Amino acid sequence: MVDQMSVHPFRSDLLQGRTALITGGGTGLGFAIARQFASLGAGILICGRRQAVLDEAVAKLDAASGRSCARAFACNVRDPESVASMMRTIWDSAAPDILVNNAAANFIAQTHRLSHRAADAILGVSLHGALYCTLEAGRRWIDQGRQGVVLSILSTSAITGRAFTAPSAMAKAGVLAMTRSLAVEWGPHGIRLVAIAPGAFPTPGADDQLYPAARRAASSRTAQIPLGRVGDHEELANLACYLVSDAASYLTGEMVVLDGALHLRTSGADDLLQWTDADWAAHRNATGGRTA
């Protein structure tokens, strides 16, 4: 396997003078993207719900870049007023020209047992949150005659659908539709919208929700991936850097799949079709219930 930390295809000032707002940027893939953006000269704004996590991430980003590059904002992207308030604060001092819709929520469940509250918990972050952030940034860019880029982190479920995570698949497909629609509507304003559909890029938070112990014990995550491995966070971050940079200035309205060809073989939920009602009941008990 290639050591992705040694693979750096970009010049060090690729994003110099740019500012990126990354939702859910304190952990996981969002943090990996923030770190890579900062290494290429960008100013970083991250938001999330847990201030302590955000503060720790800012310290790590500043230390890694060797400069004071990052700021954090507590924000619940499910709440349009919270998003609007954050955007007003940001625009007063450090208006971004890159928005990364990374915040998402997901967990496995039998769809017919989901309550509206459980479904809304996913749709509120993954669909509505991305829409709210995009609209708040886009209207400001258009009103001020500024160019911008929106990068949304989606999923191959936007192409294939995915059993047992139907609300998330619906949300990702919706954000892909937003990406394609606004690429046309906002293109004349110099605003690009692009997306990445990652495959298996393990993160602690997502793995706890999507790959509980019972699922990990029963199957290998790499067995069905044609390239035979999961993705490295640096690989996704490198693709993100390219897509938001001027090197991709003619690319808009598209989603790039980065999954080792997994979606060409399976939607990624085949193993869950073998679970019995008893298996699902045990899972619900272990997680405190996912249908309420």
Q: pLDDT tens, 224-240?
A: 899 999 999 999 999 99
Q: How many domains does the chain have?
A: 1
Please give the Cα distance from 111 to 11 (Å, whole number).
46
Q: Which two tokens stand for residue 247?
A: 């090197």
Look up the pTM and report it: 0.89
Q: Residue 266 has what pLDDT? A: 81
Please give the Cα distance from 190 to 245 (Å, whole number).
13
Residues 135, 178 contacting (CB under 8 angstroms): no
Evaluate whether residue 87 is within a structural domain.
no
Which pLDDT tens digit goes with each residue over 7-26?
567 889 999 999 999 999 99
pLDDT grade for 1, boundaries at 50, 70 and 90: very low
Q: Residue 274 has what pLDDT? A: 79
pLDDT grade for 111, boundaries at 50, 70 and 90: very high
Evaluate whether residue 70 is within a structural domain.
no
Evaluate whether residue 50 is within a structural domain.
no
Rg of the chain taking only CA atoms, in angstroms: 19
Which pLDDT tens digit goes with each residue over 213-272?
555 554 567 888 999 999 999 999 999 999 999 999 999 999 999 999 999 888 777 778
The CATH number covering residue 280 comes to: 3.40.50.720
Domain limits for position 220: 95-287
Task: For the chain, give the percent of residues with pLDDT over 90.
Answer: 76
Evaluate whether residue 2 is within a structural domain.
no
Please give the Cα distance from 215 to 266 (Å, whole number).
17
Evaluate whether residue 248 is within a structural domain.
yes
Q: Residue 6 has what pLDDT? A: 52
Evaluate whether residue 266 is within a structural domain.
yes
